[in-house]
Amino acid sequence: MSRRSFSTILAIVFLLTSCSGVGLSGLTSTDPTLRSNPDGLTTQKPFIASTGSPITPDSSQVPQPPIARPIYTLNAILDYATHSMAVDETIFFQNDTGVILPDLVMAVEPNLWAGCFVLRGLLVNGQDSGKPSFMGDRLVVPLVNSLVPGGSLTISLQFDLHLPAADIHHVFGFNTRQINLVDWYPFIVPYSNGWILHPPANVGEHLTYDVADFDVTVTQQDPSTPVVLAASAPEEKIADGSHYILKNARTFVFSASPSYQTVSITTADVTITSYYFRGNETPSGAVLDAATRAINTFSDIFGTYPHSSLSIVESPFFDGMEYDGLFFLSQDYYKTYDRKLLSNLVDLAVHETAHQWWFGQVGNDQAMEPWLDEALATYSEELFYEKNIPNISAWWVFRVESFSPSGWVDTDIYNGINFRTYANAVYLRGAQFLEAVRKIIGDEAFFAFLKDYSVTMSGKISTSKDFFRILGTHSKANISNLISSYFQHSK
């Protein structure tokens, strides 16, 4: 493949994204610990209607072997000084879609920035499989031999990243203090009656992810000027770099800076590390405390935190942004921290921690049904304060009522208008809806539902139908009028 033929340069898309708004051996496809439940990825199978009967397997059928999760092996050489990186990527992929695939669709987010992504090579099972095509962040990879259900293949890619200067609406790229690598490698998007890859919008996140396993090695081009790395998984030091293993996650991200200060705590076998810049010791400690308490609180309510680490990274951008095992928080919240528990810094740290369940474990189509993770993450803030600071009803005023929210909870990112109206509808009205459900069905049923929903949909991509189907198993209360008043598509 010629280098130029794939360096499709697109106009920069400015997004107003926001969420709160060896030792270990390498991973291999035969590692039994990587096998997922064969029913584990509902997005790749037809949705079961809420009134439908469970599918009973034909006893004459031969049991099918389980489908392995995708495995991403990424070897990156980071040149911090020039804001660039050379990457070798290998993806093991087994077809769990139930249909024959003539091609694969990958999301290549760096291609949304002009001149950022340069593809140097792409092979399928070690062979040239024809000319892939780019359209924005969508890379279509044709297959010489269509992939049958249960069949597997390996894609290898070599590419360079020339990082853009990050703006206040993005964490991706470089700023004067750090480099942030999020959605930095091509990944195969989920499939459910078609590939799920929506275009970017002015508000919200547009990507949907299957769960996968990651084996990531980052070496530094110039080890004489070392940088500290914050990542989605615990670091194993290797010569001139770092190695990471992350299993059963949506995405692997990391951040690099020569200036990071760190403070850590380990609780319930989870090591939480706050990465911050000098002068922000006090707010960084508050973030660490909030995230620690949030992990303990949410592990009790939703189910055990799934990873062995959580990294929290200070960054000069707008708001907060969640990823598996790592989230970013706006430097503004550190600067304005007033040592109060009811502050943007603490509240948003709790919100982003909640996304480890509502995004990380329970996935969703963030473009079309953002309420599934954002309403739950917002309401999780209320649960945090309720469980940790009795009699702090002021959260509702601070976070919700002061904005007099309106709008439909099931607003998608393309109808959000602007961030405030979008957040008011999806996050704040969403939290009000969940509170109203709780009052109708009672605490016992509500909390049983939350844990059931979290555990049942863990590792899958949930839909509104899944949400209400599972809710319906915990209460027979009629909430149709409530749904009609909060949801545009309430039938």
| Residues lying near Zn ion in the complex (CB under 5 A) | 19-20, 374, 377
Q: How far is the CB of 378 from Zn ion (least distance, A)?
A: 7
Q: CA-to-CA distance for 357 and 355, rounded, in angstroms?
A: 5
Residue from 465, 464, 463 nearest 190 by CA: 463
> Both tokens of residue 231?
């990542």
Report the residue number, 242 or 315, with the smaller CB distance to Zn ion. Answer: 315
Report the residue number, 89 or 374, with the smaller CB distance to Zn ion. Answer: 374
Report the residue number, 17 or 20, with the smaller CB distance to Zn ion. Answer: 20
Report the residue number, 153 or 423, with the smaller CB distance to Zn ion. Answer: 423
Report the residue number, 111 or 208, with the smaller CB distance to Zn ion. Answer: 208
Q: Cα torsion at 145, 148, 150, 154 (round to 10°)?
A: 20
Q: Residue 163 to residues 73, 184, 258, 293, 302: CA-CA distances in angstroms?
A: 21, 10, 17, 35, 37
| Residue closest to Zn ion (Cβ) | 19
- Residue 271, φ and ψ in degrees, nearest 5: -95, 120
Dihedral class, residue 319 (left if φ above 0, else alpha if ψ from -120 to 50, else beta): left
Q: How far is the CB of 359 from Zn ion (least distance, A)?
A: 8
Q: CA-to-CA distance for 158 and 393, rounded, in angstroms?
A: 53
Q: How far is the CB of 19 from Zn ion (least distance, A)?
A: 3
Edge-to-edge strands, sheet with 152-162: 117-124, 152-162, 84-94, 71-79, 212-220, 241-249, 236-238
Q: How far is the CB of 215 from Zn ion (least distance, A)?
A: 28
Residue from 360, 412, 329 nearest 18 by CA: 329
DSSP β-bridge partners for residue 205? none
Provide CB contacts within 8 A for 438, sequence distance 6+. Answer: 446
State which H helix or E strand residue 168 sits in.
none
Q: How far is the CB of 408 from Zn ion (least distance, A)?
A: 18
Report the residue number, 122 or 400, with the smaller CB distance to Zn ion. Answer: 400
Report the residue number, 195 or 467, with the smaller CB distance to Zn ion. Answer: 467
CA angle 82, 253, 85 (to 5 degrees): 25
Report the residue number, 358 or 408, with the smaller CB distance to Zn ion. Answer: 358
Report the residue number, 175 or 364, with the smaller CB distance to Zn ion. Answer: 364
- The three-class DSSP label of residue 159 is strand
Q: How far is the CB of 452 from Zn ion (least distance, A)?
A: 22
Q: How far is the CB of 9 from Zn ion (least distance, A)?
A: 31
Neighbours of 243 (CB within 10 A): 20
Q: How far is the CB of 312 from Zn ion (least distance, A)?
A: 14
The residue count of the chain comes to 491
Report the residue number, 15 or 116, with the smaller CB distance to Zn ion. Answer: 15
Residue from 192, 209, 233, 252 nearest 363 by CA: 209
